[in-house]
Amino acid sequence: MSTVQAHPVATLGQLFFPPANAGAAALLASPDLELSYNARGALLQVSRELGAALGDEVLVPAYHCPSGVMPLIEAGLRPVFYRIRPDLSIDLDDLRAKLGPRSRAVIVIHFFGFAVDLASLQDLRSKGIALIEDWSHSFLQGSPAHLPALQGDVQVFSFWKLVPSGVGGAIRRGPSWRAAPAQMRSPPPWRDTAVRFKRMLESAIEHSEHRRTKALMRGLERLRLALKPGAASASAEARPPADADADELRENAPPVAADSERGEDHYVFDLRLAQSAMPATALRILRAADLTAVAQRRRDNYDRYAELLNGNTPVQALFAQRPADCCPWVFPVLLPDRDRIDQHWRRHGVALHTFGIHLHSALYASGDPAMIADARRLAQEVLCLSIHQDLSPDQISASAHLIRTLPLPTQSPCPE
């Protein structure tokens, strides 16, 4: 059985003739929102605005994606990791114990779109320690869909995990954040724009009903690769563009195997792209998106999984209860021995992917074995079941049925 897309795919209409949506256009035009190429670029800008004059340490969740740590280091800051419990809650005692005279900020990840209550950290702001909210998994709230309430000093967003824009990030600064000069971002390099659009077009055609166009595109691609000077060049050209989601590039990679593994080596941080403007195609797709409908379909799909996977199943839901206004990115679960099972499910048609399977090497230099053990357990056991708006209720039901009934593999799969 063929696999189902883990993320929504842009249609030909979205690529070429996207009609404007008033709600999305109004959200993107918010005066306190600065658009960026991606969330990494947004975090890089925020990190540079922090500066290191008043302190160079930024507290970061031990369970994370290295692409959220590399911008800090690029800006001259030093990550200090605090413990995330196995239920994804913050160990506040550990966080406060890690604060020091050089602490400049605390980054809080709203994992998978579920808001963390920051009331217990508000006193840090009065001490000159900024609260940075990472909403790059998902951020839409309520209906009509809107941005989340600002609990900290600044928020960082990612759009492409919600809509098929390929890239797209943003910064939202609160009144307590020092004024930043207007960013005159340059367009992305032309080759990145061309390659990204080509791959989005190929994906749109591949998932369309245009059989002849699909066959023609496949033939042209085979011809193009055959005319390349060598297999190595063809293989390199076939890779996703530089900013493709880092975890998606490594979905079939093994889990974190040793404390010496450099998680950042599995991710791409392109400084040129991080400093670029949002591509025009991504902006058109975002402006055309019905964000309220997107959020509602994701809520409905999440609730269906919550109902159907409640009880005797191989997985344990990390958030059994969904807040009414929350628009989740995925349905996250804990699955022991995940790497023996997830590809088995994917091959049978379950749309899924992973987050945080590789951790930044700086974590292992922290000298906190208990914190590292919790982070590694999450890295090895968290599985993300897709709930995006292109998946129908019947597809979610079918996936839940497979998860509940499909015999599990008896041994680890061979490398693919």
Helical residues (DSSP H) of 103-210, grouped into ranges: 122-126, 190-206
φ and ψ at 82, to 5 degrees? -120, 160
| Distance of alpha carbon 62 from alpha carbon 243, whole angstroms | 23
pLDDT tens-digit map of 255-283 = 444 444 688 998 889 999 999 999 999 99
Name which of 386, 384, 389 is nearest 297 in CA terms: 389
| Distance of alpha carbon 86 from alpha carbon 72, whole angstroms | 25
Residue 181 has pLDDT above 50, yes or no: yes
Average pLDDT across the chain, whole number: 88
Lowest mean pLDDT among 11-25, 221-235, 310-324: 221-235
Residue 248 has pLDDT above 50, yes or no: no
Task: Tell me the one-letter amino acid at 75.
Answer: A
Name which of 293, 298, 292 is nearest 391 in CA terms: 298
Which residue has tokens 């979205």? Answer: 14
pLDDT tens-digit map of 112-144 = 999 999 999 999 999 999 999 999 999 999 999
Q: What pLDDT shows up at residue 217? A: 66
4 alpha-carbon distance from chain centroid: 18
Q: Which CATH number fits domain 12-173: 3.30.413.10, 3.40.640.10, 2.60.40.1180, 3.40.190.170?
A: 3.40.640.10
pLDDT tens-digit map of 336-392 = 999 999 999 999 999 999 999 999 999 999 989 999 999 999 999 999 999 999 999
φ and ψ at 118, to 5 degrees? -100, 15
| Distance of alpha carbon 267 from alpha carbon 242, whole angstroms | 9
Q: Are 164 and 8 in contact (CB under 8 A)?
A: yes
Q: What pLDDT shows up at residue 178? A: 75
For the chain, the domains span 12-173, 187-241, 290-405
φ and ψ at 128, to 5 degrees? 85, 15
β-bridge partners, 276: 186
Q: Which CATH number fits domain 290-405: 3.40.47.10, 3.30.70.360, 3.90.1150.10, 1.20.1730.10?
A: 3.90.1150.10
Task: Tell me the one-letter amino acid at 328.
Answer: P
Spatial CB neighbours of 105, under 8 Å, sequence gap ≥ 6: 50, 58, 59, 129, 130, 131, 132
Mean of pLDDT values over 70-77: 95
Q: Are 286 and 157 in contact (CB under 8 A)?
A: no
Q: CB neighbours (10 Å) of residue 124?
A: 20
Name which of 43, 97, 87 is nearest 317 in CA terms: 87
